[in-house]
Structure 1
Amino acid sequence: MVLDQEMPSNPEGDQDVNTDEDFTPIGTVEIFNDSKIDTNYILVNDAAANRVYIMNKKAKLLHEWTLTNNIGNDVYLMPNGKLLASLESDEPKIPLGGKGGKIQIIETDNTPSWEYIYSSTEGETHHDVEMLPNGNILAMVWSITDSIQAKEEGYMFSEDIYPESIIEINTNTSSIVWEWHSMDHLVQENDSTKRNYGTIAHNPQLIDINYSAKETLLPEVKGDIMHANAIAYDAEKDLIYLSVNSFSEIWVIDHSTTTEEAASHLGGNYNKGGDLIYRFGNPEAYENEQGLRLFQNNHFPNLLKGEHKGKLLVFSNGNDIKQSTVYELELPETYNLEPNKNNEPKITWSFTDPDMYSGKVSGAVLLENGNILITEGDFGFWEVTREKEVVWKFSAPGFYWRGYHYLQEAPEIQKLGL
């Protein structure tokens, strides 16, 4: 059964996925097994139209926010009913995909109640933000390194680069209280006269500054040597998970360090300073011949909770085969990142389909009924069961960053009066 703009209600005799009056859907819905659909709500981030809205599974628009700026990509609804949004600044200084520069907390009446601007020729926030339990915010930053300094760090080309940093912002004082910089944790085999020279395969805790330069990058990301696109936080272990698209990896960083320790190789709960305590998805990125490469570009490391605690969902874009895959991975209880060992996590579930491919953005979330809601960036959404049965799809012209699901009775939904 298909619902679209020309068919605003279900044919007589079909069961509704949500009980609603007649309306005009905002896209096309395909229902394959109505009895297995999770009937809760989806928060949609459509970066093409710069729209953030909530819809039900019949594609009825339930609520939409008015934003002051374009999406920079991530916008999500917090339990207090407020939005946390990564937006583009008025004049972004680093015009790469996912550019941001402005972070806002937005009230239910669309009014920004807090704003932080990090947009200059020195660097810019981008893509994703994460609210910490203490009320601080983690944000990713592109920091500009000019071609001369890049050469000093052993970079193989003469061009400016945009390596990754992470900052933690205190929302009470609007000040940076912690930071981590990838440039403090490099290794390279290109120039033996530089300080970062070393054997890549022997140092999995360090980042090969030239890895993506050896790969074939899209023209629009020239100099964007890492292109992190998502951030997640494990409060119990005090760890940050950084999705690094150009490396086809997820990096795990110790957040328990001080800023000084994060710039070093010692300190913190894991006594590795700001070095990577774990990494997975692409052992080729650190010349490890052990372990299977899973990702060919990746988005949204989604840490699961409850009975699925210790697992993670991630969207592998699959640019090499033009087919995407969602993986559920079981993370190790203890992170041991060793040279010439298989450091990859265990695959506990996966889903792919010849019709599912998005070379950019996208992600997956676990639904209340156990199904998986998949965002396919240039299509829309799929809902699939653990048995890999496709039960529902939504599509409309757009560029879908992520979809977040919310129970109909969730406090944040109730605060919106839905």
Structure 2
Amino acid sequence: MKYISTFSILILLLLVGCKKDTEMEPIVPVEEIEDIDTDVILELSENIEVYDAELVSDDLVLVIENGGKSAYFLNKEGVQLYTWDFELNLGNDLQLLPTGQILAIFKSEAPSFTFGGYGGVIQIINPDSSIAWEFIYSSEDYIAHHDIEILPNGNILILAWERISMETATSFGVFVDHDLYPEKLIEVDFETKDIVWEWRAWDHIIQDVNAGFDSFAAISEYPNKIDINYYDEPNGDIMHANAIEYDISKDIIYLSVNYYNEVWVLDHSTTTFEASGAVGGNYNLGGDLVYRFGNPEAYDNLKGNTILDRNHFPNIIAEGLPGEGNLMIYNNGRTSGQSTVYELEIPKVFNLQANTDNEPAIVWGFTNADLFSERVSGAVRLLNGNTLICEGDYGFWEVTVEGEIVWKYKKEGSFWRGYSFGTNNPILPILGI
């Protein structure tokens, strides 16, 4: 297939911000309807609740339904300009490639386990809906879920659950009456479909309940390790990671771990062998956590504030955007019943220490009494400095750096994420937009 020879080159375009490239153009606020020309009013969808002409950005939103069978481009007037319809349900992420193709994770039709966000099938779909590439990662012992990422070399990074039997867990000093399903990451060679790199959370666990096992340790003294007993879920989904973000500048991976209320940072420069241990890679920690943030309680750290209470979509603000290099994340706020979007300044040098405040600085944040989604959701920075927020059980918000709400789009259903595309993005003509 001819597209493969240019695929890796085109990926570089994807990595420099095609998700978030926007410009600003004055449009009309809904609040001033009595002063608006009737023809302009008719251009606004009934789904638009706020529409500020002076401050809203002029961009398109790629709307991804949560577990649905479609995605679409939406303009700020609330009009769907282009729609994709899929044969399988999404499970969950979808990315639009510079070729006009879609890379997405879909739900297996015969999965062995079905925790929320399960997938199993990764496909690249052509604009004519034909399947250009497919990789199935689903069996009795593992299944891909939630998120995928394209690496600079064209390989695909995939998040997955793996089954750890009760017997194996017991041999590590973890006594449970059900199998466990911790997280793993695999990197798949695009050309050969071979797994060329792997990281397993299970290789880095410790516990402080049952002495006499190699895994037994004081949790607070090993911040680079994972307390396997931190969260208990009867179905075995004890971590429930939901997002991955690759940082090309540091060759690291951010992993959003929902049930730990944390983001873990992993060293991708390791070999698979090094990733299974605690030595090697650019940080000489092997596959142990290079850094973590959001919830010091997850590793018995009494220093630092807990800012995350369930979390989704950590993403690095791209070069050229206000706040570039910082990280945005959606804090679902399950306990408080109120969500918050944070922009965080990640340390330039990772120095994860025991009994130390390791948390990043909060550069910016936004919350509102009406902003709450217990699940999914996310936020991205726009070119004009505004922030686009996906509230999973509502729709979309756009807010200024001062916290002013300049656009709201409400629609029935559930939304996984929204990516922003400038109206001059070269992908759009490929789709006829």
State the SS of the aligned residue for 1:65. Answer: strand
Matches within 5 A, 1:214-293: 222-293=235-306
Q: Is the 8 A contact 1:310 1:333 kept in 2?
A: no
CA 1:102/1:48 → structure 2, altered by over 3 Å: closer, same or farther?
closer
Instruction: Find out whether 1:152 has 2:171 as its counterpart.
Output: yes
1:171 positional shift: 1.1
TM-score (norm 2): 0.89
Instruction: State the AA in 2 paired with 1:183.
Output: W
2:332 maps to a residue whose letter is N
- Paired residue secondary structure (1:148): helix
State the distance in 2 between where 1:301 and 1:335 align: 17
Deviation, structure 1 residue 362: 0.3
Q: Which runs of 5 or more structure 1 residues have no equivalent in the other structure? A: 4-9
1:80 aligns with 2:99: yes
CA deviation map 1:171-225 (0-9, x unaligned): 1111111000001001100111222111100000000000012xxx6x7xx3101
Paired positions, count: 403
| Contact 2:67–2:91 (Cα < 8 Å) also in 1 | no
Post-superposition CA distance 1:274-333 (Å, at most 9, x none): 000000000000000000000000000011122523300000000110000000000000
Relative to 1, partners in 2 of residues 1:405 and 1:141: Cα closer, same or farther, differing over 3 Å? same
1:348 pairs, out of 341, 359, 363, with: 363
Query: SS in structure 2 opposite 1:150?
Result: helix
Q: How does 1:40-79 map to 2 (within 5 A)?
A: 40-47=59-66, 49-79=68-98
Once the two structures are superposed, residues 40-89 of structure 1 have per-residue CA deviations (whole angstroms, 9 ceiling, x without a partner) of 10000112543211110111111111212100000121222211101111
Question: Is the 1:407–1:413 Cα contact (8 Å) retained in structure 2?
Answer: no
Structure 1 residue 332 and structure 2 residue 347: aligned? yes
Query: 2:146 corresponds to which residue?
Result: 127
Q: 2 CA distance for matches of 1:52 and 1:241?
A: 25
AA in 1 matched with 2:281: G
> Which fold has the larger relative contact order, with Cα–Cα distance below 8 Å and residues 6 or more apart in sequence?
2
For 1:175 and 1:23, the matched residues in 2 are separated by: 50
In structure 1, distance between residues paired with 2:42 and 2:127: 26
Offset at residue 346 of structure 1 (A): 0.3
Task: Indicate the SS of the match to 1:306.
Answer: coil
2:308 to 295, 312, 322: 295
Please give the residue correspondences for 1:158-177 in structure 2 after superposition, counting only pairs within 5 Å: 158-177=177-196
State which drifts further: 303-312 or 359-368. 303-312
Partner SS for 1:402:
strand
Equivalent AA in structure 2 for residue 53 of structure 1: Y
Q: Rate the CA distance shift 1:349–1:23 in 2: closer, same or farther, 3 A.
A: closer
Match of 2:333 in 1: 318
**Counterpart Cα distance in 2 of 1:324 and 1:94:** 29
Quote the offset at 1:357 in angstroms.
0.5
- Which residue identity lines up with residue 118 of structure 1 in the other structure? Y
- Is 1:210–2:223 an aligned residue pair? no
2:425 pairs with one of 371, 390, 410: 410
Between the aligned partners of 1:134 and 1:355, the Cα distance in structure 2 is 42
Q: Which runs of 4+ in 1 moved over 3 A?
A: 10-13, 19-25
- Residue 136 of structure 1: aligned partner: 155
Closer/same/farther in 2, CA of residues 48 and 34 from structure 1, 3 Å limit: farther
Cα pair 2:330 2:379 within 8 Å, conserved: yes
Q: Is the 8 A contact 1:126 1:141 kept in 2?
A: yes
Comparing 274-283 with 62-71, greater Cα deviation is found at: 62-71
Is 150-159 or 89-98 further displaced after alignment? 150-159
Q: CA 1:403–1:15 in structure 2 vs 1: closer, same or farther (change >3 Å)?
A: farther
